Structure 1
Amino acid sequence: MAELTPIQKKAAKLKELELDRETFLDEAKEITEYILPQKGLYLSSGEKPNKKKGRFAKIINPTASEDNDLLASGIQGGLSSQSRPWFRLEATDKSVMSLEHVQIWLDYVQNQMRSVLAGSNFYSKIHDFYNDEGGFGNAVMMCEEDPKKVVRFTLATAGQYCFAEGIDGTIDTLYLRYPLRAVNVKKRWPDTCSDSTKQSARTKPFDWVEIVHAIEPNNDRNPNKIDNRNMPFSSCYWEHAKTDKFLSKSGYNELPFAIGRWKTNDSETYGTGPGHTALGLVKMLQTMEKSSLRAIHKEVDPPLRVPTNLKDMLNVLPGGANYMPANDPRDSIGKLYDMNFNYPAAEAKIEQIVRVIHMIFKRDLFLLITDRPEMTATEVVERSQEKLIMIGPVTERQIPDVLEPMLSRTFNIMVRFGMIPPPPDELAGQPVQVDYISLLAQAQKMMGLQGMRSYVDMATAVETLKASSPDGAVKTNSDFLLDEYAQGLALPPQITRPDEQVNQFKQIQQQLAQQQQQIEMLKQGSETVKNLAVADAQGQ
C-alpha cells in the first residue's frame, strides 16, 4: 500500500475528527433548529450557505433564543465590555510596580492594546462568540494579522470546526471547513487553486468552494530555522474536494485561535451549555404553544357539521350570508364537536416552562448586568451572590481559555508591527501578566473577600460588646473567639496576630494606660495645689 501524501494525511485526520464530533453535531443541529436558527453551518451534511429554508419555522415561542442572546450580552458586559476597562497589565515581579517608569510603560502598552481591540471587530465578534458558547456549549474564534487594523477576528460556527486536545488537556488542534466564493479563492491563491475553481471563477464567480484550514502543533519543524514553515504551529489550506495539493502552507508563532467551552468533562472533547440543558424544555414549549394555538384556531374557526345538500354552497367568510329552508332541522349547521381545551392550565404550564428556561440561562443575573452597566462589583455581589456562585466556574474559565490567548496573540502581533516600545530594564526577560478588572472578574474577587469582611464585622461586634456590656466581655474569651472564627472562614494566617504578639500589644497598652492614669493624677494634683495656693492668697 502506497504511503499517504502529507495532504492525504491531513484529509484523513479531518475525517477522524469529524467522526469524533458526530454526537455533538447531532445535538448542535437541534439547537440550531430550536434556539439558534441563524447559527450553524453543516457542510458535512450537504448544507449550503445562504440556502436555509424555514430556519425559524420551529420557533413559536422565542424565550430560549432571547435568553441566550441576553446571556451573551451579559457575559460581554460583565467580562469584556468596550464601555469600561476590563484588563490591565502588571509586572510579574511586584517589587518593580512602584517604579514610575515601569508604571508609565505598562499604562502605555495597555492603552495601545485597548485602542487596537476597539478599532478592530473584536467586540462585535466576541458577542457572537458568547452567543455560540451559550447555545452550542462551544465557540471558536480566530485572530489574524491585518495590515490596516492590526488584528482581525473571525468566528466559526457549529458544523465548521473540529478540534482536539493536547496531552495537557488544552486544545491545540483545530480544523476549519468553510465556504468561499470561487472568485475569492482565485484571488487569494491564484497559482495553487484547482483548475475547476479557476474555471468557476471565470464563468460562475459566486459559486461556493469548500476550503479546509488545519492548524496544529508543528512536530516536524526545525527550531533552528525561523521561516514560516518552521513555526511552532503549522497552517495548511486545501480545497476539500481536491486532495492532490495544498493551497498554501505556513505557520503561526502562537496559537491563533481561542476556543470556549461552557462546561466539559474528562471523557468528552466538546462542551455542553445551557442550550443543551434547555433543549428538551424548548421542544416541549414549542409543542405546547402549537397545541394551544391550534385549539384557539378551532374555537374561532371550528370544523362544521354540514348537510350533504349544502355541499360547496356555504359562505364561511366573515359576515357571509347563508340562506336555509325554514323549519328544517335536517338542514341545520353546527360544530362538529365541542372543544373542551383547558386554556388556563395550558398557559400556567407554559409559564412554568418559561421560568425554568429563564433559570437555566441565568436570566436574572445577566438582566441585572445589562440593565445597569454602571453598577459596581460590590452591588453585583450583594444582589446576586447565589447566582454568581453558580456561574463562577463558567466565567472564570473564559479568562484562560478565551481572553488570555486573544490578548496574548494581540500583544505579539503588535510587537511584530513595531507598536510596543522596548520595556524598561526591570521588565526585561520576564513576562508581563494580565490582571482582569471587569465587573464579573471583580465580583468573583469580592466573593473571595467576603470571609474577610465577615471577620471584620465579627471583630467590630466583639469591640461593641466590650464597650456596651462589661459583664458579657468578661465572660467571652474574645481572642479565642476571633481565632476560631478566622480559622472557620479559612482566612490567611496573616489576618490574625500570634498570641505572643497580642500579649505584647496588651502589655504595651496596659503600660500606656497606666502612664496616662499617672499623668491624669499628676494633673489633678497640680490643679489641687494651684487651687490651694489661690485660696491662701485670697485668705491673706
Structure 2
Amino acid sequence: MEERDEQTQKRAERICREWETLKSNRGQWEGHWNDVATYVAPRKAGIFEAPTVGGKRMTRVYDSTAIQSCSKFASGLYGNLCPPDQRWFELRAPAPDLEVAEEQRHWYSEATRILHEELAISNFGLSIHEDFKDLGWCGTGGMTVEEGDPGKPTLRFRTMHIRQYIPIENAQVQIDRAFRLLSFTASQAIDEFGEMNLHPEITGSQADPQKASRRWQFIHLVEPRRDRNEEKRDDQNMPYASYYVDVKHKTLIEEGGYEEMPIICHRLDCEEPTEVYGRSPAMQVLPEIKVLNRMVRASLLAEEKRADPPLDVPEGNYPFGLRTGPGGINYYRDFAKGRVTPMEISGSVETILKMKEQRRQRIKEAFFLDLFLLLDQLDQNQKTATEILERVKEKLLILGPMLGRLQSELFNPLIDRCIGILFRAGKLPPVPEGVAFYEIEYVSQLALAMRMIEVSAVTQTIAQVQPFIEMNPDVMDNFDDDAIVRGVYERMGGNPKWLRDTDARAEIRKQRLEQQQAMQALEAGGQAADMLPKAGKKAEEGSPLAEMMKVAGGL
C-alpha cells in the first residue's frame, strides 16, 4: 500500500513538473498570442493570467475591422462546415466495402440522423462557434466532449481558452496527449471530485467566508494508456488514461480512463513541422492590423485638430483672455494689428481614407470573407454556380489544406467520441452483423464546393474533347460513365439512399438486354415469315433460313 502511495505521489509530481516545463517552453507563443488577441480578440487577451472580471479590454483598439472579420470568419466556417439546420456529414460503409446489405445501410443512415439530432439539442453550436473564433485569431483550438448529466442532453461540449491547455504530439505528429488547467472553488471541487479525495485545506476553506471564493487549481492529463489489459474494460484498462492532480499540494486526487480522447486539440494551419501550435489568419495580417489601428488613431487626432484647430493669437492683444467656447465674447485692443487665426493643418484626407480602406480589404480577404460571401450564392442556377465556382477556386485551393486538417484533427475525433458516448447511453440502434467500421463523409457546403472542383474538371474536359467525340464516338470509351455519374451525384450532395447499388443496376441492365434480344428475335421471326411464301424451294435443314423459320413457327 505504501509503495502504491509513493508511486501515486511521484506521478503527481511528474505531471506538475511536465506542465510547468511545457508552459515555460511556450513563452514566445504566449507573447505572440497576447499581441494578436489585443487587436483581434480583446476579451481573450488574458494569456498570462485570467483578466479581471468586468475590466476594460478595448483600450488599445481604434478600428474593429479585425475583430468583426474574425467573428464573421467563425460564422462562415460554422455555416459552411457544420450548419445546425443541415446534414453536414454521413456515416457510410468503409470505402473498400461499398456493397452493403439494406439492414446495414439503414443503420448507417439512422445513426447519422440520431447523431445530428443529438448535436442539435446540445451546446455544440455555441461551443464550435467559439472554437472557430479561436482558430481565427490564434490558430489553435481546444474542446472537451463529455457525457451530459442525467436529464440533460447526452452530449456536453466545452471550449477552452488557449492558456488552459497544452497539446502534445506523438512521433507521427498527431496530438494524442493533452494537459488542461482547471480552476474551482472549494464547493465546485467537492462537487467534481468528492470531499474524501481533496486536501483538508481545500475542504476547510468552504466554511470560511473569506476563503470560500478562493479558486484552487487542478491539472488534468489525458494520454494513451501504454500498458493495459484489453480484455478488461474498467477505468484502469481503458484506451486513454486520465489523471487529476491538485497543483498546490502535488497530490493525485483521481485516476480514471476514457474509451475515446475527450480533449480534442486541433490546428488551423501549421507552417513548420516542429510547431505544435497552429497559425491563424490574424497572424498573417497582424502588421496590417497594427498599422490600420495607428492610422485610425492618427486620423482621429487630425480630424479633431481640423474641427478644433490650434490658434495663432497675437501676444497682448486680448487683455481679458481668449474665450473659444460657443457665444464667447473677446475684448481686444483697438490699436492691435493682429487677429486670431486658426493654424493651418496639412494632409490629404482622401489619401488617408484610401489607404485605410485598402488595409481593411486585405484584412477581410485574409479571413476569407469574400469566399464565404460567394458560397452563399452557390444555391442559384447551375450556370451562376459554375461561374461563382471559377471565381472562388483559388480561395478554395488555399483553404483546402486547412479544411483537411480540421477534418482529421477536429471533426473525425469529435464524431468518434460522440458515437461512443451515444452508443454507451443506448441512443443508437443495435448494430447489425457486418457493421464493424464506418467512414465519415463530409457533405457540408464547403466540402461540396471543394468536390465541385473535380466535377468542374470533368465537365470542362468533356466539353473540350467534344469535337473529337463527334469525329470518333469511341473516344468516350476512355471514360467510366458509371463512375463519373455516381461521383458527380455524391459530390453534388445527393442522398446515398437514393442511389441504386451496383447489383441492382446490373440486374436492370440484364433485364433490359433480354428484352432487347427478345424484340430483335421477334422482328427477325416476322421477316422470316414474310419471306416464306416467296421462297421457291424448301429450306435446307440446318441453314440460317431453316433456323429463322423455326423461330417464326415458335412465335
TM-score (norm 1): 0.80
Q: How does 1:2-13 map to 2 (within 5 A)?
A: 5-13=10-18
Of 27, 35, 60, the residue aligned with 1:22 is: 27
Q: Is the 8 A contact 1:459 1:482 kept in 2?
A: no
Matches of 2:419 and 2:337 in 1, distance apart? Answer: 87
Q: Is the 8 A contact 2:34 2:45 kept in 1?
A: yes
Q: Is the 8 A contact 1:49 1:179 kept in 2?
A: no
Q: Is the 8 A contact 2:121 2:153 kept in 1?
A: yes
Q: Is the 8 A contact 1:40 1:159 kept in 2?
A: no
2:455 equivalent to 1:453:
no
2:405 equivalent to 1:397:
yes
Matches of 1:162 and 1:312 in 2, distance apart? Answer: 68
Q: Is the 8 A contact 1:28 1:136 kept in 2?
A: yes
Post-superposition shift, 1:34? Answer: 0.5
Q: 1:334 to 1:181 in 2, by over 3 A?
A: farther
Q: Please name the residue that 2:288 is paired with.
A: 281
Q: How does 1:319-358 map to 2 (within 5 A)?
A: 319-329=327-337, 332-335=339-342, 337-358=343-364
Q: 1:178 to 1:289 in 2, by over 3 A?
A: farther
Q: Encode CA deviations 1:171-191: one digit per residue, 9 max, x unaligned.
A: 011111243334312332322
Q: 1:425 to 1:130 in 2, by over 3 A?
A: same
Q: Encode CA deviations 1:431-451: one digit per residue, 9 max, x unaligned.
A: 111111111111112212333
Q: Is the 8 A contact 2:378 2:385 kept in 1?
A: no
Q: 1:50 to 1:146 in 2, by over 3 A?
A: farther
**Which secondary structure state, in structure 2, belongs to the residue aligned with residue 191 of structure 1?**
helix
Q: Please name the residue that 2:3 is paired with.
A: none
Post-superposition shift, 1:307? Answer: 6.0
Matches of 1:11 and 1:312 in 2, distance apart? Answer: 72
Q: Please name the residue that 1:537 is paired with.
A: none
2:443 equivalent to 1:441:
no
Matches of 2:46 and 2:228 in 1, distance apart? Answer: 34
Matches of 2:101 and 2:380 in 1, distance apart? Answer: 32
Matches of 2:417 and 2:442 in 1, distance apart? Answer: 16
Of 240, 255, 262, the residue aligned with 1:256 is: 262
Q: 1:96 to 1:338 in 2, by over 3 A?
A: closer
Q: How does 1:222-261 map to 2 (within 5 A)?
A: 222-240=229-247, 242-261=248-267
Q: Is the 8 A contact 2:379 2:385 kept in 1?
A: no
Matches of 1:175 and 1:317 in 2, distance apart? Answer: 61
Q: Please name the residue that 1:79 is paired with.
A: 81
2:189 equivalent to 1:185:
yes
**Which secondary structure state, in structure 2, belongs to the residue aligned with residue 201 of structure 1?**
coil
2:126 equivalent to 1:124:
yes
Q: 1:126 to 1:101 in 2, by over 3 A?
A: same
**Which secondary structure state, in structure 2, belongs to the residue aligned with residue 246 of structure 1?**
strand
Q: CA RMSD in A?
A: 3.4
Higher mean C-alpha deviation, range 169-178 or range 272-281: 169-178
Q: How does 1:122-201 map to 2 (within 5 A)?
A: 122-147=124-149, 148-189=152-193, 190-201=195-206
Q: Is the 8 A contact 1:161 1:176 kept in 2?
A: yes
Amino acid aligned to 1:439: Q
2:224 equivalent to 1:217:
yes
**Which secondary structure state, in structure 2, belongs to the residue aligned with residue 124 of structure 1?**
helix
Matches of 1:334 and 1:80 in 2, distance apart? Answer: 63
Q: Encode CA deviations 1:393-426: one digit per residue, 9 max, x unaligned.
A: 1112211111111110000011111222322223
Q: Is the 8 A contact 1:381 1:447 kept in 2?
A: yes
Matches of 1:200 and 1:343 in 2, distance apart? Answer: 61
Higher mean C-alpha deviation, range 366-375 or range 384-393: 366-375
Q: Is the 8 A contact 2:180 2:219 kept in 1?
A: yes
Q: Is the 8 A contact 1:458 1:482 kept in 2?
A: no
Q: Is the 8 A contact 1:85 1:438 kept in 2?
A: yes
Matches of 2:385 and 2:17 in 1, distance apart? Answer: 53
Of 18, 21, 31, the residue aligned with 2:36 is: 31
Structure 2 runs not aligned, ≥5 long? 1-5, 488-519, 535-555
Q: Please name the residue that 2:507 is paired with.
A: none
Q: Please name the residue that 1:419 is paired with.
A: 427
Matches of 1:280 and 1:248 in 2, distance apart? Answer: 46
Structure 1 runs not aligned, ≥5 long? 467-472, 496-514, 530-540
Q: Is the 8 A contact 2:38 2:45 kept in 1?
A: no
Q: 1:210 to 1:372 in 2, by over 3 A?
A: farther
2:61 equivalent to 1:55:
no
Post-superposition shift, 1:269? Answer: 1.0
Post-superposition shift, 1:112? Answer: 1.0
Matches of 1:412 and 1:238 in 2, distance apart? Answer: 26
Q: Is the 8 A contact 2:319 2:332 kept in 1?
A: no
Q: 1:36 to 1:83 in 2, by over 3 A?
A: same
Post-superposition shift, 1:198? Answer: 2.9
Aligned residue pairs: how many? 477
Matches of 2:118 and 2:268 in 1, distance apart? Answer: 27
Q: 1:461 to 1:33 in 2, by over 3 A?
A: same
Q: Please name the residue that 1:299 is paired with.
A: 306
Matches of 2:278 and 2:56 in 1, distance apart? Answer: 28
Amino acid aligned to 1:211: F
Q: Please name the residue that 1:498 is paired with.
A: none
